[in-house]
Amino acid sequence: MFAMLAMITNNGMAQQVPISGTVLSEDGTPISGVTVSVSGTKRATVTDNDGKFTISAKEGSLLIFTYVGYAGQKIKATAGMQVKLVRGESSQMGEVVVTAMGIKKERKALGYSVTELNAEELMKNKNTNVVNSLAGKVPGVNITQFSGAAGAGASITIRGGNSTSDSRQNSPLFVVDGVIYDNSTTVTGNTGTDGLSRSNTSYSNRIMDINPEDIATLSVLKGAAAAALYGSRAADGVVIITTKKGEEGTARVSVASKASTSWADKLPQTQTEFGNGVYSSNGAFTNQTYQSWGQKISSPDSINDNIGHFFQHGVVYDNNVNVSGGSKIGSFFLSGSNFDQTGIVPKTGYDKTTFRFNGEIKAGKLTLDANATYSIAKTNRTLTTAGLYGGSNSAGGSMSALYNWPHTFNMKNYLNGDGTQFRPFAGTLPLEQDMDNPYWIINKDNLTSQTKRFTGGLNGTYKVASWWDIIGRVGYDQYTTNDYTYIAPGSAVIPLYQNGRLSKDIYGYTYITTTLMTNFHKTFGDFDTHLMLGSTTENTETPVQNFWGYNFIVPGTISFANIDNTNQLF
């Protein structure tokens, strides 16, 4: 029995032979630190500085080659074998994440928390605002949507707010393809000029300018250690977005369309037992009021469902198309999209069109990639509550007026024959003390916002050696937001503004950055070392302009030229 066992053991050992080979990159450069293991065993080794390795294995057994940033390969063992690794998703890429400055690292080597989502996960509950798509998917991340209005933004906080300052939004830093991307929720107006404050109408956050269909991966870096390379502005965390690129092979065309609808499901409960009127503290009664605590309503036919008839069905049309392709020396990705949303409040909506180009070309040890994006977003909105300081009564705004309008009045009756506003108490209640009909507000007043944005980047990577690369980057981000507010003549405002008001706000943002850095990644036995050196420059400009005026000279002409110079303010 012992002799037989010894013979089997000796034969097994005889089948194990030293297998030597070399591992190279796509351009033929030796790669050190590549892990070489024998499939089905625990035997493994790593390549030396010349990319060479030696491992004991049977002839014809499978050798597994893995290296961060390269696609893993399984190849039959042969003497003097030469293996070329290709950059891409490796079999272990689930353990590799994108960190600060676009550097990929193994998750187990990080000293902080990182959550990464791929495109498939983000698209499960796709929203035009990628911030809303993160809801419930990342631990420690809180998402709050500003409102249900078309084009309304959302706020994101990671592990709670870090500051109580009104000027700080506690929002993480956003980085798109290595370039810092502004995600401000900019309130262009103010209560003194046009009533446009954060609580009186809807605003978008600027990450909405990105088309979610263009996103390949999204990483959330939590904690100060994760964001150290971005400085104090990243104290609230960092969200790193990488967009899609073309792949080697035949050009592909992808088309996606979606239509959806929304409606007001839960409406506020209101009393329908009493008509308009109110009793004063001394017992005197008057029905010259919008308050609805008057006489008991005798006939159900005199009750109008003003709230139920006011809202409409909202519709969303979301269309996307992209073309991508590539070869061994280059790739491209080109996309276009349009998101058209009609709000549940009449005359409100949001329309966004985006175009993106990503391209990459390889020339020996040098890799160049460029990206450019253009977007234009337009929002039609309304003042939901009174926002003009000293300019209107406390119930101003479409939503405030809607919920205060008596059910005994038909709210759709808002115009007189001459086009002026029909006022139920015109003979007894002065205009400055009256309340605008919600239909007057949404049909006669006009509030629009338009943002045009262009972002671009040029990146160059030179592979000096398998363990040393030099990276240069130039980034550009620019957008201009134009907000327009028109209050029609005959609105319930103070006498000074009763002949109309006009306001135009312009907010500009320009950000230019350059980065030059060199990365060293060397493996010595069981030790993995990383060293990064570099410098960066940044320049930010945010010009703001505000124009407003009142009292139109010629009725029906909406222009600053139709306002006397003495009534124009800048």
Which pTM was predicted? 0.78
Same domain membership, residue 551 and residue 497: yes
Residue 419 identity (one-letter amino acid): G
Position 269 in a domain: no
C-alpha distances out from residue 157 to 256, 455, 477, Å: 31, 25, 23
51-57 contacts: CB < 8 A, separation 24 or more? 51/22, 51/23, 51/24, 51/466, 52/20, 52/21, 52/22, 53/20, 53/21, 53/22, 53/23, 54/18, 54/19, 54/20, 55/18, 55/19, 56/16, 56/17, 56/18, 56/19, 57/16, 57/17, 57/19
At 97 the pLDDT is: 58
Amino acid at 56: S
Residue 263 β-bridge partners: none
The residue among 514, 510, 503, 515 whose CA lies nearest residue 545 is 503
Together in a domain, 344 and 445: yes
The residue among 55, 76, 91 that closes a domain is 91
Torsion of CA 546, 552, 553, 555, to 10 degrees: 140
Residues 80, 149 share a domain: no
Per-residue buried b or exposed e for 533-563, using 16+ beta carbons within 10 Å of the residue's own CB: eeebeeeeeeeeebebbbbbeeeeeeebebb
Asked, for residue 466, whether it belongs to a domain, the answer is yes
Q: Which residues pair with 55 in a beta bridge?
A: 19
% helix / strand / coil in the chain, to the nearest 5? 15, 45, 40
Q: Is residue 447 situated within a structural domain?
A: yes
Return the pLDDT at 332: 94
Instruction: Kindly state whether residue 423 falls inside one of the protein's structural domains.
Output: no
**CATH code of the domain in which 63 resides:** 2.60.40.1120
Give residue 98's pLDDT: 63
For residues 177 and 32, membership in a common domain is answered with no
- Does residue 355 sit in the same domain as residue 233? yes
Pair 360, 236 in one domain: yes
Averages of pLDDT over each 10 residues, the chain, 570 residues: 35 63 86 85 82 84 83 82 74 52 58 72 81 83 83 82 58 88 84 72 89 90 71 81 87 93 89 89 88 87 90 95 92 96 94 96 92 96 76 69 91 94 91 92 93 95 90 95 92 90 93 93 77 91 92 91 91
3-state secondary structure of 122: helix
In a domain, 287, yes or no: no
C-alpha span between 494 and 434 (Å, rounded): 10
User: Is 335 in the same domain as 389?
Assistant: yes
Closest CA to 212 of 180, 244, 179, 238: 244
The confidence score (pLDDT) of residue 502 equals: 92
* 406 located within any domain: no
- Domain tally, the chain: 2
Q: Are residues 82 and 118 in the same domain?
A: no
Tell me the residue ranges of DSSP E strands in 5-93.
Answer: 17-24, 35-38, 44-46, 52-57, 62-66, 73-76, 81-84
300 is a domain residue = no
The answer on 70 and 196 residing in a single domain is no
Note whether 205 and 71 are same-domain residues.
Answer: no
Please give the structure tokens belonging to residue 446: 């006009």
What is the structure's pLDDT at 10? 39
Is 500 part of any domain? yes
What 8-state DSSP symbol labels residue 405?
Answer: S
Q: How far apart are CA 497 and CA 518, in angstroms?
A: 61
The answer for residues whose C-beta is within 8 angstroms of residue 4's C-beta and 6 or more apart is none
Do 187 and 41 reside in the same domain of the chain?
A: no
Q: State the residue range of the domain holding 84.
A: 17-91
Distance CA 32, CA 566 (A): 75
pLDDT of residue 515: 92
Both 80 and 197 in one domain: the answer is no
- The tokens for 171 are 């929002």
